A and B are shown apart, each in its own frame.
Chain A
Amino acid sequence: MAAIPVGALEQSADWEVPEQQIGLWQDAWHRFRRNRLAIVGATVVLLLVVIAITAPLLVHFKLIPDPYTQQVENIEVGPVTAGHLLGTDELGRDTFSRLLYGSRVSLAVGILVQFIILPIGLGIGLAAGYFGGRIDNILMRFTDIWYAFPDLLFVLVVVSVFQQYTFGNVIAQMVMIFGAIALVNWVGLARLVRGQVLSIKEKEFIEAARSSGSPPMKLILKHLLPNSLGPIIVTLTFGIPQAIFLEAVLSFIGFGIQPPTPTWGQMVNSGYESIYANPSSVVFPAIAIGFTLLAFSFIGDGLRDALDPRMRR
């Protein structure tokens, strides 16, 4: 109900794609900037990225202790002791530097997993939407079944199976874990893409029906990208904390990236043993995980509000 009288409504023709999009991105950027939480989130993430990149440098220049060095004489000391800002873990490794190094794994998991999800989700969504009919039906049933099974359990099983093959090889471990996480999380993107393709087909179909049998893929892609780029980005952004969470849980149960590579989930796991003696070994990585997830959620919320087509003036 239009309670407040407004001026003329500008209707843009659906087939006009180009110049308006530039305005949309600038507009979105302005709206994003005004969202304080989103800016806070973005700042935190930026900080994390800086930390992740520079951590090895800091170790190289002896600004922080090496996270892999085990000091038997200094096991499980509390914060600010013997040169260890946040204490050490059960093998005498410095908690602070392990914390900093942990950001590398978390960021890698979050971001790289999305790169794997993107082709899978895009591919299946496009196929389902474009071909329609039986293929769509089969694919959708497939995704429904896939979706029905709890993600953690599936990842656990996959990881446990392949873990033995990757023993000692960090890169291989990462590939395996990232792959497993991506495998359970692509459904959302696929459904989104399919929905977008279907709605485009609805529009283009009327025109294209006159020329050839089915609308050419190129036409669909041309319209898919500008319209759906927003929601796709938002979905992927929300996927980052999901992936980080899953990896942390895996590490916590012991099936994630194996030591000595530090990950936050692992730190929580091992810190749990000594939770009464040295609670800081649990608290700090736990908070790190929490705040990272929070930061990405804020960014996701901010992006979603900024890119919401309904709020275009």
Chain B
Amino acid sequence: MAVISGRPARGALLPSRLVSLGNSRTGSLVVFIIRRILWLIPILFFVITITFVLMHLAPGSPWDKNGGRQLSQTVVNNLNARYGLNKPVYQQYGLYLWNVAHFDFGLSYQYQGKTVSALLLEGWKYTATLGTLAFLLIVPVGVSLGVLAALRQNTRIDYITMGFSTFAASFPNFVVGMLMVVAFSVLLYKWTQGSFFLPSADFALDDHLVLPVITLALFPIAYTARLTRASTLETIRQDYIRTAWAKGLPERLVVIKHVLKNSLIPVVTTLGPLFAFLVTGSVIVEQIFNIPGIGRAFVTAVASYDYPMILGTSILFAIVIAIANLVVDVLYVFIDPRVRLT
């Protein structure tokens, strides 16, 4: 009964309670989520393997960069032994995989005695705050601009918002970040007295985030605005909008329940890749504004051949992006009833 035409029947590998859910839409959803979570494993596997291979292709050892001092061979040997670098590569690989499965990401090479996990945890609060704030800025602003431009197509508002978007979308974020730093700190020095906006050695979460968040959010806002506008314009031309008007519905109802409900669907699908972008963007922005987050930690890890740190960070990023994509996909199923879960 479990095997029909060569493939296991839908519930064959699942506990019976899940099988009974499997026939309703909610049930299919649960199965869908579980399958996607399981999908994470090959992705992580792939990420780890590739990063691992690349790391070990690099010439030299992590100890070469040690502050310019030449370490004696015995010290190097000790270090290698301590960190397990004297074992054959495939053994190191296997050991690493085993550790990861137990959430042990090893010790960082740069910072003696600190575990990668601890370092990641330290940097996480900065990066997460940065990313979350940016996201909270991007979605409302981007969508609103796009909808506004679409509803007032070919008027001044349309041209201004879209012109701004094209402009903002073309300048890479570090360029924008730079220019903003120049503008606010150098040119407007009189007003800001160098405070409030600037990168500083002492990074406090509360008051120094305005520029970094804007820098990170600018491109996605522009992109989202353009996409929303295009999608809304397309939706407005549909027959069912004409039906809505013909029913005598007030404008607010037509726009919200008929236009937006449809035009925002494609926008939701871009939220997944948006997360990937925020991850990359945070690397850049943290460099510019000297924020001690995970992005910056990644760059320094790469520069110092801190293998465990590099691997750990890559894995963390991969997980974050994968989960974000999963959430978006699930959300999509809820908002578009035509989608069938396969």
Contacts and interface: CB of A to CB of B under 8 A. Distances in A.
Interface of A: 1, 145, 148-154, 156-158, 160-162, 164-165, 241, 245, 248-249, 252-255, 268, 272, 275-276, 279, 282-283, 286-287, 289-290, 293-294, 297
Overall SS of chain A's interface: helix
A268 B174 contact: yes
B170 A148 contact: no
Contacts of B303: 160, 254
B276 A150 contact: yes
Nearest to B276: A150
B168 to A, nearest CB: 10
Nearest 3 CB-CB pairings of A with B: A294-B170, A290-B171, A152-B280
Contact of A145 (B43, B239, B310): B43
Nearest to A268: B178
Interface string B28-62: 00000000000000110011001100110111100
Contacts of B314: 149, 153, 157
Nearest to B174: A252
A256 to B, nearest CB: 12
Contacts of B299: 156, 253
Given A153-B283, A160-B305, A283-B178, 20 more contacts: A145-B42, A148-B318, A148-B321, A156-B283, A157-B314, A158-B54, A161-B55, A248-B174, A249-B174, A249-B284, A255-B302, A268-B174, A268-B178, A272-B178, A289-B171, A289-B172, A289-B175, A290-B171, A290-B175, A294-B167
A48 B182 CA distance: 26
B100 interface: no
A282 B182 contact: yes
A268 B310 contact: no
Nearest to B275: A150
A164 B58 CA distance: 8
A131 B242 CA distance: 44
Contact of B54 (A161, A249, A282, A283): A161
A294 B175 CA distance: 13
Interface in B229-286: 239, 242, 276-277, 279-280, 283-284
Interface in B141-200: 166-167, 169-172, 174-175, 178-179, 181-182, 185-187
Given A148-B318, A252-B287, A293-B170, A268 B175 contact: yes
Interface string B280-312: 100110011000000000110011010000100
A245 B174 CA distance: 10
Contacts of B172: 245, 248-249, 289-290, 293
Contacts of B57: 161-162
A276 B198 CA distance: 11
13 contacts: A145-B42, A150-B276, A153-B283, A161-B54, A161-B57, A268-B174, A275-B178, A279-B182, A283-B178, A289-B175, A290-B171, A294-B167, A294-B171
Contacts of B186: 275-276, 279
Contacts, number: 118
Given A145-B42, A252-B284, A157 B175 contact: no
- B interface residue count range (under 10 / 10 to 19 / 20 to 34 / 35 or more): 35 or more
A209 to B, nearest CB: 25
Interface of B: 42-43, 46-47, 50-51, 54-55, 57-60, 166-167, 169-172, 174-175, 178-179, 181-182, 185-187, 239, 242, 276-277, 279-280, 283-284, 287-288, 298-299, 302-303, 305, 310, 314, 317-318, 321-322, 325
Overall SS of chain B's interface: helix
Contacts of B46: 145
Contacts of A275: 178, 181-182, 185-186
A153 B170 contact: no
B229 to A, nearest CB: 14
B59 A164 contact: yes
A282 B305 CA distance: 29
Contact of B279 (A150, A248, A252): A150
Contacts of A156: 283, 298-299, 302
A156 B296 CA distance: 12
Contacts of B54: 157-158, 161
Contacts of A276: 185-186
Contacts of A294: 166-167, 170-171
A150 B280 contact: yes
Contacts of A161: 54-55, 57-58
Nearest to A288: B175
A293 B172 CA distance: 8
Contacts of A154: 50
A156 B179 CA distance: 24
A286 B171 CA distance: 9
Pick from B175, B178, B317 the residue with the most CB of A within 10 Å.
B175
Contacts of B310: 157
B179 A286 contact: yes
Nearest to A289: B175
A140 to B, nearest CB: 13
A245 B231 CA distance: 27
Contacts of B185: 275-276
Nearest to A264: B175
A157 B51 contact: yes
Contacts of B187: 279
Contact of B318 (A149, A151, A297): A149
Nearest to B311: A157
B322 A241 contact: no
Contacts of B284: 152, 249, 252-253
